[in-house]
Structure 1
Amino acid sequence: MGLRAFFQDLCTARRLILISALFFCASIVVGWFSTGIIQAMLVQQMEGLGEVSQRLQSSEHPQWSFFVFIFFNNAIKCVLVIFAGALFGIVPFIFLIVNGMVLGFVVHLQADMGRSMYEIVVKGLLPHGVIELPVLIVACAFGLKFGVNIMSTLGTSLGLKRKGTGPSWKVFLKQTLTVSIWSVIFLLIAAAIESGITYRLLSH
């Protein structure tokens, strides 16, 4: 369960982590250039987030409210997306694409409103994003791995694959537990940074 074990587990899913990172980057570009139905969907997402942000901002202790919301929202979603990967990897794939598009759309929208890329990226994204985004990608990669393992096991059960060539579920479930725990820890740090450093940087 240590940090070393966490990084060793990442190595076992390095291809899926790379694939997830590429899909995430591609979806950022799609979000940036979005029009029509995609843009309408992203606007709806942003309106929902805007309402939540206003409620948190008007609370008695805004920074603490932001911290609690950001941490639990991200931690619950990241852990769920790993295990929801059991549904053939569909959920983590959609989660990855939607989050990438929302990010691309938000950055483009902020740029159109006159904010500099320095303020958007360096002040608004980097402080917490350098931790939060890799954790999101890793969680989705393990969710996809869960789906791949399910399909491999089904293939073996149906006689499409030789027995003994499927995944070791005992090893994999131990890996998902380790990844889940460390993801929550890193997201706790990211939430503290976002509700503290990022909040103050964007308030000035």
Structure 2
Amino acid sequence: MKGTIEYLRSIRGYILISVILFFASAASGFTAAEQNPEIAEEWLKELEMLKWITDLPPLMILILIFAKNLLACAMAVLLGMGAGVVPVLVAISNGILVGMVAYQVVHKEGILYLLAGILPHGIVELPTVLVSIAIGMRLGHLFLMTIIDGDGDLGEEARAAVSFLIYRVAPLLFVAAVIETFITPLAISLASR
């Protein structure tokens, strides 16, 4: 497999697309929530149903967060071969959700609270997720090129993607889950004082 930096360079265009999709969707979600707060309230109610997770022991919370994020990244990567549709949907749906939740949190708790709830683990998690989306888009593009004109080494690219998922994405998501479980709650408690 290529080195990490070399591999990331080879997918940099797809990374840029995933970043644009995510942040444009987040801005759209924020704007939609601002224009129609009831929609955001409904989305937040859906998330409220997940509050039971916070009652679990920290180790279980860590495992759940890690498993959820790894599954989302694996789906974005592996299902990217379906013409890249799934990774695009993952970027857009997550962006909209983050935007709507951000609107609610900013208006109920303030910007500092939002930053405390996102930044500690988000510094690691968000780039990792966006790179996973980019890898899925790259696989989808190569899949289409292979179907259209037989061009591209889809097998080699798929092996590189799975290797990157296992050896780079999974460890980073584990670090993010540790931070989200143990450090983010402390940051939120400090911000809410």
**TM-score, length of structure 1 as denominator length:** 0.84
2:154 is aligned, of 154, 169, 186, to 169
> Runs ≥4 in structure 1, deviation > 6 angstroms?
36-39
AA matched with 1:176: A
The answer on 1:29 being equivalent to 2:27 is yes
Q: Is the 8 A contact 1:31 1:105 kept in 2?
A: yes
The answer on 1:102 being equivalent to 2:87 is no
Separation in 2, partners of 1:191, 1:151: 34
Separation in 1, partners of 2:118, 2:164: 23
Q: Is the 8 A contact 1:6 1:178 kept in 2?
A: no
The answer on 1:66 being equivalent to 2:61 is yes
The answer on 1:116 being equivalent to 2:110 is yes
State the SS of the aligned residue for 2:183: helix
Q: Give identity over the alignment, percent.
A: 25
What's the CA shift for 1:92? 0.6
| Aligned twin of 1:131 | 124
Q: Is the 8 A contact 1:124 1:198 kept in 2?
A: yes
Q: Is the 8 A contact 2:146 2:154 kept in 1?
A: no
Separation in 2, partners of 1:74, 1:174: 21
Kindly tell me: are residues 87 and 43 of structure 1, through their superposed partners in 2, closer, same or farther at Cα, counting changes over 3 Å? farther
Separation in 1, partners of 2:120, 2:84: 30
Separation in 2, partners of 1:43, 1:27: 18
What's the CA shift for 1:47? 2.8
2:4 is aligned, of 3, 6, 21, to 6
Give the structure with the larger helix fraction: 2
| Aligned twin of 2:50 | 52
What's the CA shift for 1:173? 1.9
Larger Rg: 1
What's the CA shift for 1:7? 2.3
Kindly tell me: are residues 38 and 202 of structure 1, through their superposed partners in 2, closer, same or farther at Cα, counting changes over 3 Å? closer
Separation in 2, partners of 1:95, 1:89: 10
State the SS of the aligned residue for 2:83: coil
**TM-score, length of structure 2 as denominator length:** 0.89
> Unmatched 5+ residue regions in structure 1?
158-165
Per mean C-alpha deviation after superposition, the further-off stretch among 189-198 and 170-179 is 170-179
1:24-82 CA distance string (max 9 Å, x none): 11011001011589974x655433332122x12233x2x22321111000011101210
| Aligned twin of 1:156 | 149
Separation in 2, partners of 1:168, 1:6: 19
State the SS of the aligned residue for 2:152: coil
